[in-house]
Structure 1
Amino acid sequence: APKYGRDDYDADALAQKVMKLWTDECWKYETASTGRRFRPGMLSWNYWIGSGYILKASANGRTEAQFLSNAICPSNGADINGPTSNSNSVGQALGGKSEDGGDFMDYVNYLPNGASHTISFNTSLLRDAAHKEKFKSFLKGYIENGGTALQINILDPEVLKEAQRNPQDYRHLLVRVTGYNAYFTSIGRELQDEIIARESHKGV
């Protein structure tokens, strides 16, 4: 089935439709204390973890009690076509390009309060000059595609597994969880496993 995060037109169009429906509804409401409008954003912190435990299975193939997707990221397991496909889907969900002009370089941004997008790359990506140049192009393209808050992990899943086995040797190891960094060995095992399970791209 088509999946958001794979640069699939049908899946991304549905994501954009749901995003617009939700953000249009958000703008209708104001706070009781200040009268200011709510500004929509996708900044999940750790809610995608706890909420996943209490929600039944969902139509995207997520099983009961599995983590939800992290903010605007694709669901775990959906990100299989590479980082460019991943970021193209995010750009569409944020609003995509508009013939009538947009908020930035003709792109619409439905989320003025930001959209946290965490993506992982393998350390091998930075070991040769050609991949470094491709990585620079990816970052430039991400912004030009309407992306707002890209958070990058550059890590080796095998190192993370070793840190689980011997945490005393890896107390210094920092990872990007979502909108914050944490020492890998200080977070719970389930969250460690979730970070390891994220697709770690070896190329762009």
Structure 2
Amino acid sequence: MNAGGARYRDYGGSGVGIPNVGDSLFALKRLIFDEQRYAGDEILNALRADFVGYEKMQNQMLRAPKYGWDEPEVDAMTDRVLLSFIAPLNAHRNRYGGHAKPVILGFTRVVGTGLETGATPDGRKSEQPLAHGLSPQRGATSKGTLSAINSATRLSLRKVGGGAGMMWDFDTELARPDVMKPVLQTFVDKGGHIFQGNTVSVSTLLTAQKNPEQFTHLMVREVRDALSGNTTRDYRKEPLWQLTPSISG
């Protein structure tokens, strides 16, 4: 890249799971400090047990407000996590003397990283995928895409010098110009960076998951990569978890 004397010497690193950390910290604040339902040791024991025997606690964590619900307090917590990731990168110089830019493009790593991550206080069980980039995690778009966009664009995106990617997946019935144009316009007007998505029906994904050999032509785009029908089952399941339920919010 620099062999020809390129002027651009800035590159950096990408964070994975920032929305999960934000949701987890808010759940801890809510359950331990605000409502005083549990002590810290109780939650640690539940996480170590992967919530086996602690299903009630897990449900309370899952029901806690999430980044993506258009809840300013949760969004502020997630932004604190983002800024804590950005700060050390901004203070670092890479080997070419350039700034180490923060980049949030962890799409293709969310499954593999999730497999290596234990249960988290947002209610996520061990080995489940983490959130895509700065997208609300799976299940956290239940308030609608516009609410999720409001949450995402409250973050300090201007400080993410390398770009902040967000995954928005829609059923083919919603992938129409009259629907997508205002969604994309809102995303851009509010300062969103990278709008990445897939458009495929839920029924097609379910069939492809069961019979991948019949869908080798089906490509699920993940930023610069594409996953075909030959990929692993864990990756085949992920697009189903990310389908956006509605536009309104």
Q: Could you state the TM-score of these two structures normalised by the residue count of structure 1?
A: 0.83
The one-letter code matched in structure 2 to 1:187 is T
Counterpart pick for 2:131 among 66, 69, 83: 69
Task: Report the structure, 1 or 2, having the larger helix content.
Answer: 2
Mapped pair 1:79 → 2:154: no
CA distance in 1, matches of 2:154, 2:246: 24
The one-letter code matched in structure 2 to 1:118 is M
The one-letter code matched in structure 1 to 2:149 is S
Q: Where do 5+ consecutive residues of structure 1 fail to align?
A: 96-107
Which residue number corresponds to residue 13 of structure 2?
none
Pair 1:180–1:88, CA change in 2 (3 A):
farther
CA distance in 1, matches of 2:208, 2:127: 26
Q: CA deviation at 1:46?
A: 2.5
Larger CA Rg, structure 1 vs 2: 2
How many pairs were matched up? 185
Which residue number corresponds to residue 86 of structure 2?
23
Bigger Cα displacement from structure 2, 191-200 vs 171-180 = 171-180
Q: CA deviation at 1:166?
A: 3.2
Q: 1:94-132: per-residue Cα shift (whole Å, max 9, x none)?
A: x2xxxxxxxxxxxx5121101111111111114xxxx63
Q: CA deviation at 1:175?
A: 1.3
CA distance in 1, matches of 2:86, 2:79: 10
CA distance in 1, matches of 2:245, 2:224: 20
Q: Could you state the TM-score of these two structures normalised by the residue count of structure 2?
A: 0.69
Which residue number corresponds to residue 75 of structure 2?
12
Pair 1:4–1:179, CA change in 2 (3 A):
farther
Which residue number corresponds to residue 162 of structure 1?
207
Identity %: 26
Contact 2:209/2:237, CA 8 A, preserved across alignment: no
The one-letter code matched in structure 2 to 1:20 is L
Contact 1:156/1:200, CA 8 A, preserved across alignment: no
Counterpart pick for 1:42 among 87, 104, 107: 104
Q: How does 1:50-69 map to 2 (within 5 A)?
A: 50-69=112-131
